[in-house]
Structure 1
Amino acid sequence: LQALPRVCRTGTHLFQFAEAVEAMRGWGRGLRRAVGAWYAAAPVEALALQAIKYRARQGWTHRDLLRLAHPETEEPARRALFDWICRGRLAEEVPTIVHAFAQVQADGIDGAVAAALIRSHGLPWEALPTGLMKSRAVNEALIERMPVGALVRQLGRLTAAGALAPFSEGTERVRTVLADRERLLKARLHPMALLLALKTYASGHGQRGQLAWEPVAAIVEALNAAFYTAFGAVEPTGRRLVLALDVSGSMAGSTVAGSGLTAREAAAAMALVTAASEERWQILGFTAEEGRPWNRGAALTPLAIGPSLRLDQAVAATADLPFGATDCSLPMRWALERGIEADAFVVYTDSETWAGPVHPVQALREYREKTGIRAKLVVVGLVSNGFSIADPADPGMLDVVGFDAAAPAVIADFLRG
């Protein structure tokens, strides 16, 4: 309970915690007091921003939690803020950002007026009604203060609204942000998040809905450069890793995470990130056995992918190869035959997961028994509709069904233990 303010740094975190409490235990006196302390201890201006930015998540609102916790305060501004959250009463003592929020929510507000309020009070985009999100003036104001992650996710919408165009002030600001190494690394965006954003933005349309835009070349190039800069934000696992990549033709015909990124590009990018961030790694491709026709037999061949390559070169290293079946037991068998000591095996494929003469579970157990290493296995189906390789009773095996910008961190955390 004492750790609650450190763990739940935003309103969204607090709502996630409340949902877990509701599902797993219930609301005791100590827990209510801890939630009340979260509201009583935060600086009142920061709390007001949280109340505006994260109004409802996970089926919870701040009103719900305040009524559960009943925090006590002698501060007029905090008391007025609680009253506004619970009853909607807008007293004079409430923080000024709340008054600004009430103004932008009013019917018929002009975009220029809303932009001025955004600049003077730091209103986040979550505070704005849907109608204002199409205003160029509003979006130009938002760009000035938008966090890096939110900016990257909204580039298409900002372009469609006219805030980003060739040679515009907004475009120059985006280029400056994406070129700021320190700011980019501080945002801790994984390179894959930037690559997915790059592919989506360059396509000129979202995968859902009807939003479309004309990509600005300068922003496409800035995203491309940021992809490589973000390698510095990847925390290495420190493990000895064997990566096995599906190199079949189908990898070029399927897309990942609702973007224009192919499974081949995603697998090559993850291999490139691993090579750039880890000290000990080996990258292999599932190829056909020597002397056999295409797509017959199964073997593993080292791929010429290293930290000095660019993404297009890494993709080329996985293309036009005589591909074999994606036998997920092969990496362990390959390592065992050669006496290679590895801490983890990671397979990247689209949706082709195949068990050959030995099941992957059995191959991993045999590798562990003969080497004495508690090796792990991760099978990533980048566009999979469903598969099951891992033994659910084995904490050292993980199936990743599908892929998005959050997947690399999940995989890395699993490898670290």
Structure 2
Amino acid sequence: MANIQLFKSLKRRLLPVADTMNYCGASAYALSKEHRLAQYAATGCLNHTFYASAQAQLATVLELSQEIAPRFIAQTALYARRRSYMKDMPALLLAVLAARGAEELVPAFEGTVDNGKMLRNFVQILRSGVTGRKSLGSRPKKLVQAWLNQATEEQLLHACVGQSPSLADVVKMVHPKPAEPWRAAFFAWLIGRPYDHAALPPLTRALCAYQRDRAQPIPQVPFQLLTAMQPSTEEWTQMARDGGWHMVRMNLNSFARHGVFEVPGMTELIAARLCDASAIAKARVFPYQLMAAWKACDETVPVAVREALQKAMEIALANVPTLEGTVVICPDVSGSMSNPISGVRAGVSSAVRCIDVAALLAAAILRKNGQSRVLPFDHRMVSCPLDPSDTVMVNAARLARIGGGGTDCSAPLRWLNEHGQRADLVILVSDNESWLRNHTSGATETLRQWQQFKQRNRKARLVCVDLAPHASSQAPESDDILNIGGFSDDVFRLLASFAAGQMQPQHWVDEIASMPL
């Protein structure tokens, strides 16, 4: 007789067998091609991550793009730019569409290239040859020309900030034919050709006047066009008054260094600007940008300004949903989460790490859902008491101070099972590279623990938020499991929709496929 223990009848539903391995060589579930592309687009910055190099990310995206319909590639580019606020990946996907000669390039370009930085990214990537061509080609060239001929003077001046290529390089490449005299004069001024000074638009004319005579009023142009002239305290103060919301956020230490906060009333003015709700909404503030500014502030920045950043965070996260039922948030605090959220690149790596973003998401949900429970984990459960009445920034900082250990995504589920806990929604926030308690066959340990949890909580749902560009998951998509990638505030909207039962299988891919072209 066969071994009864080995072949006994299963009392629970069959679990899907893990069908791939993750970067650590542990069992995992392969995401669909479309899901993989979306994951890379929403989290990949084409920089070195803890587990994958920039070259490997690029190769993966290019390989996937050859197997996926142009329409979905275009929709992914739109999603990555509009919902995830990414820059490099949407431009790369546009370049892929251009290389394939896809008609979807036109609506995708028009919906994705919303500023000069995106325009220059697109041109840079396409001209690099990585997508299979080095020339712009007629259709991309016409799209770039149209952008240059439709942009406002303010947009063009902002596009002047940056090199490789510069806006002047782009103009020389595509030779736009301007219909307005002011635009013709601007392009000639930009590329160093003779121009009619009287025909220049007002801001550019004011910039030229200021460059000739510093006694002239400071023009309200991007501050990067002025800092090379070594502005005085008075000039820095005027730039702080006139600067946009993001300009102020990014230059707090510079303001302190140049004496701006010593000018009467400037501390109060800047603090009020930073926590102005309408300005925050208009600036499309990325929550982790506020965390980056708060972390970067040195002691010379007044306390009132640093507190304003905390208030701004509360305002920026006002759309965090109130989730029905009992919610458990499980931020991964393992060693790999110490990697910068946008990857490593010499000189430009973000000070914000994956663990900071995981902590931010957990603290934000706790703040809006006071009865929630936060269970940090690495290879085991980690104790970190939090107070829902504290600010998001304070609680996030407490969580982010943990760090270390291996990764076991099943750890919080196992703890819930061992303690007989109940919950309606469990949220794992991780880089998803679980490698401990690995099984050589069958389902992953995460899925096994989730099935056990479901025996007590039949209506419960699991959301796995992946913060890094990966191709696999520890729990495959199903009616009660959602895998999403990204670290923008759109994650909160998706959480609410899924928790309310408003998303179907292949939830996230369907969300992207619904983007109108």
Shorter-chain TM-score bucket reads 0.5 to 0.7
* Partner SS, residue 132 of structure 1: coil
| Deviation at residue 275 of structure 1 after TM alignment | 2.6
> Aligned pair count?
366
- 1:110-259 alignment, distance < 5 Å: 110=214, 113=215, 116-118=217-219, 122-133=220-231, 135-165=232-262, 168-201=264-297, 203-204=298-299, 214-232=300-318, 242-245=328-331
Correspondence for 1:35 among 144, 159, 178: 144
Amino acid at match of 1:34: L
Q: Which residue of 2 aligns with 1:74?
A: 179
TM-score, length basis structure 2: 0.56
Measure the CA separation in 2 of the matches of 1:361 and 1:413. 30
Determine if contact 2:465/2:483 at 8 Å carries over to the other structure: yes
CA distance in 1, matches of 2:353, 2:112: 36
* 8 A contact 2:186–2:200 mirrored in 1: yes
Q: CA deviation at 1:128?
A: 1.0
Shift of 1:136: 0.7
Deviation of 1:190 after TM superposition, in Å, equals: 3.8
Measure, in 1, the Cα distance between the counterparts of 2:211 and 2:160: 14
What CA distance in whole angstroms lies between the structure 1 residues aligned with 2:471 and 2:393? 31
Matching of residues 315-326 of structure 1 within 5 Å: none
Gaps of 5+ in 1: 205-213, 288-296, 382-386, 400-405
Q: 1:6-40 CA distances to partner (integer Å, 9 max, x unpaired)?
A: 42221111112223433425523222222211122
Supply the distance in 1 between the matched residues of 2:423 and 2:121 (Cα, whole angstroms): 43
3-state secondary structure, aligned to 2:261: coil
Q: Report the AA paired with residue 345 of structure 1.
A: L
Superposed counterparts of 1:395-410, under 5 Å = 407-408=487-488
In structure 1, what is the Cα distance between the partners aligned to 2:305 and 2:476? 45
Report the TM-score, using the length of structure 1 for normalisation.
0.67
Deviation at 1:105, TM superposition (A): 3.7
Q: Given the alignment, which residue of 404, 408, 426 partners 1:327? A: 408
* Closer/same/farther in 2, CA of residues 94 and 40 from structure 1, 3 Å limit: same
Q: CA deviation at 1:2?
A: 4.4
SS in 2 for 1:87: coil
User: Structure 2 regions of 5+ residues with no counterpart?
Assistant: 1-105, 342-348, 496-506, 509-517
Further displaced range: 60-69 or 229-238: 229-238
Q: Which whole-Å CA distance do the structure 2 matches of 1:9 and 1:154 have between them?
A: 23
1:79-118 pair list within 5 angstroms? 79-92=184-197, 93-106=199-212, 109-110=213-214, 113=215, 116-118=217-219
Question: Using the alignment, how far apart are the partners of 2:394 and 2:301 within structure 1?
Answer: 24
SS at match of 2:218: helix
Deviations 1:176-204 (A, max 9, x none): 21242222233232444323322321x33
State whether residues 245 and 285 of structure 1, in contact with CA within 8 Å, keep that contact through their aligned partners in structure 2. yes
CA RMSD, 1 decimal: 4.9
1:313 and 1:16, CA in 2 relative to 1: closer, same or farther beyond 3 A?
closer
The one-letter amino acid paired with 2:115 is T
Q: Which amino acid aligns with 2:269?
A: R
Which structure exhibits the higher relative contact order, with contacts defined as CA atoms closer than 8 Å and separated by 6 or more residues? 2
Question: Which residue type is aligned with residue 65 of structure 1?
Answer: V
d(CA) in 1 for partners of 2:451, 2:195: 68
Question: Structure 1 pair 298/176, CA: closer, same or farther in 2 (3 Å)?
Answer: closer
Distance 1:411 1:60, change over 3 A: farther
